[in-house]
Structures are given as structure tokens and as C-alpha cells.
A and B are shown apart, each in its own frame.
Chain A
Amino acid sequence: MSPLTDYELIQSCLQGNQDSFAELIARYKNLVYSVILRMVNDREEANDLAQDVFLKLYKNLDKYYPDYKFSTWTIRIATNHVIDYRRRKKQETVSMEEVEYELGTDDSPENAYIRQEQKQELNQMLVDLPDMYKIPIVLYHEQDLSYQEIADIIHEPLSKVKNRIFRGRRMLKESLLNLRKKEQAGYGV
């Protein structure tokens, strides 16, 4: 028996079968969670927000139309939810310690430390990007979505999506360049 499609699961859900929704969660929890984590950079917060997103999806299942993929609709609701949440919360709190990275074992401790620092710096630059650039960049480079899929998610034309990704990359590059310059100036003293 082939697995049910997303749409079949949704229909089954609408007929009162809650287990079908559990299957949908299993399919998309990692996608939703990681996109949200990139936006808020806090595991606990991302967990709460991702749960809220699935509750929202469940309550609005009857409003889903299969014109778009379910994943597209899901990410759209997730990103909008985080933006709304931020608007309500106003100021953004970022705790970098929450995001851990695995380190290469062959590195010396000093190298590992420097690499860790650089990774965190780049990650912080990504977090600092405005949502309009960060969301497409994360969806494209981390989630491997296509330009068209991102256009569907953020409801903007393809050209705008490309523009934002290009600008976002340039902004990341500029921040990295500034950081390098600062570091070099620091060593020079």
C-alpha cells in the first residue's frame, strides 16, 4: 500500500481522523522547526512557535486548497506566525548559546575555537538580516527550495524573490567583509 498523499491525509483529518494529522506533523515538523529556529535563534522559543504553527494549521485545514504544495502553505503560515509573534513581542532577544554546532574532530582546540567563532558570527549575521531577505535566503540555501516555491510562500513575483536573495547575499558578504576588516585592524594594533 502506497503512503497517503498530503491531500488525502488532510481530507481524512477533516473527516475527524486525528491520527492523519499526526502523520502530517511527522512529515513537516523538521522543516517548520528549522525554518522557525533560523528566524528566532532560540530552541525553546522555536519549539513553542512550531507547536503553535501546527495548531494553527489544524484549525485552518479546511482553508487549504491543493493549488500549492502543503509544505508551501505550511511554511507560509510558519513565517507569518513568527513575524506576527515578533511584532507582538516588539523587541527581539537572541541567545547564541542555544545554537550548538558539531566541530571537526581533527582540528586543534584553537582552530576549533576560531572556526566556532566564525560560524557563530556568520550565523549572527544571518539572524541580523531583515526578514524580507532572511526568509528567502534560509529557504533557498538551507531548505533547498526553488525560487518558484519561495515566490509561492511569500506571495511575491519570482523577480522580487531573486532580487531579495541576491541582495541578502550581498548584505551577508558586506557584513563578513566589515568583520574581517575590523579583525585585521585589531591585529595590527
Chain B
Amino acid sequence: MECEKAGGYMMKYMDGVLAEPEALWLNKHILQCEHCKEDFFLYDHIMEHFAKMPLCDAPANFEERVMARIRLLPAPAALTDSLERAFCGIWGVFFVLMALGLLLGMSKDAVIAWLSERAGLALAPLAALMASASDDVTRVSNLFLMNMSQFLTRIWQFFSGLQVILLIAMGLLILVQIVLYKKDKVDTAK
């Protein structure tokens, strides 16, 4: 019981929070108890070791080495990133839906046939509905494709003049500007 109390006081001693009466009590106990005396000196030795342990400094060129690795990374993610992520999510969902629609459109005949074959399941109305809907979709998409091809032909006509050279030249100029700007930014960061 007394030794347990002494053990607790030793912990307080190592925390530097041992009050004076407690220190006196511990001192008295240690003089009488060989076991606690041994413990106390072992603890004292350990604490001395900790006190003498040299604080280790990082190697001399530590910062430069870390910064060299960091400069290869993109800037740390800021708030704008979460917005970008949200947009990516929306676009992702959009494309998945579009792909699914396309797949369904491509295999619509098979699906309709499958549905009409299973008359017992009372799926015939669904098949009919799907058939009429798919007809509509086909009509609209055909219209869209037609307009699209017309649009592309017009664009092609537009570019097939001298303008195309002018446009390419302008594009190149902008590209060079961007490259120069980025290089400048990296240099000033150093």
C-alpha cells in the first residue's frame, strides 16, 4: 500500500509536480524501503538520460531538398478545387447518363423484342410505349445529326480559306505567351 503511494509520488516527481510534503514523505519511505529506493534511482537515471538526450537538428540542406521536391508538385489544393471537383462530378454523371442512353438506343430493337416476347408478364404495353418513344428519339437525333453535319460543313468551308493560316498563327502566339508566363512564374518562385 505504502509502496503503491510511493510509486504514484515518483510519477508526480517525474512530472515535476510533487508538492513539498509529498517529497518529504517519499524521502522517508525510500530510506526505509529498499525496493522503492532502487526504483527511485532507476527512474532518476532514466530522467537524467532524457535530460541529456541531445535534441537532433534536421540535416543542413533539409529545407532545400524538401522545397525542390515541392516545386515539382502543383500548388496546394485551395478552395477553388472543391468547386472544380463539383463540376467534375456533374460532368461525370452527365456523361454516364449519356453513355447509358446511347447503349439503350443502340440495342433498343433487341430490348423491345425481348419485352414483346414475354407477353405473359403483361409487358406488351411497355414495349409499345418504348417503341413509340424510341421512334421519337430516333427522329430527333436524326434531325440533330443532320443539323450537326450541316454546321460542320459550314465550319470547314469557313476554315478552308486563308483564314485558317491566320488562326493557327494566332493560336501559336497565345501558346508561346502561356509558356513564357509559366516559366516566369516558376523562376520568381525560386
Contact = CB atoms under 8 A, between A and B. Distances in A.
Contacts, number: 96
B45 interface: yes
Contacts of B77: 59, 61-62
Interface string B42-79: 11011101101111111100110111011101011111
Interface residues of B, number: 35
B50 A141 contact: yes
B38 interface: yes
A142 B81 CA distance: 39
A62 B14 contact: no
Interface size class of A (residues with CB under 8 A): 35 or more
B189 interface: yes
A18 B189 contact: yes
A15 to B, nearest CB: 7
B39 interface: yes
Contact of B55 (A15, A34, A101): A34
A33 B50 contact: no
Contacts of B42: 173, 176-177, 180
B46 A176 contact: yes
A95 interface: no
Interface in A9-64: 13-16, 18-19, 21-22, 25-26, 29-30, 32-34, 37, 43, 47, 50-51, 54-55, 58-59, 61-62
Interface string A79-118: 0000000000000000000000110000000000000000
B56 A37 contact: yes
Contact of B71 (A18, A34, A166): A18
Interface of A: 13-16, 18-19, 21-22, 25-26, 29-30, 32-34, 37, 43, 47, 50-51, 54-55, 58-59, 61-62, 101-102, 119, 122-123, 141-142, 166, 169, 172-173, 176-177, 180
21 contacts: A14-B78, A22-B67, A25-B63, A26-B63, A29-B63, A33-B58, A34-B56, A34-B57, A37-B56, A47-B62, A58-B73, A102-B54, A119-B49, A123-B53, A142-B55, A169-B46, A172-B46, A173-B42, A173-B46, A176-B42, A176-B45
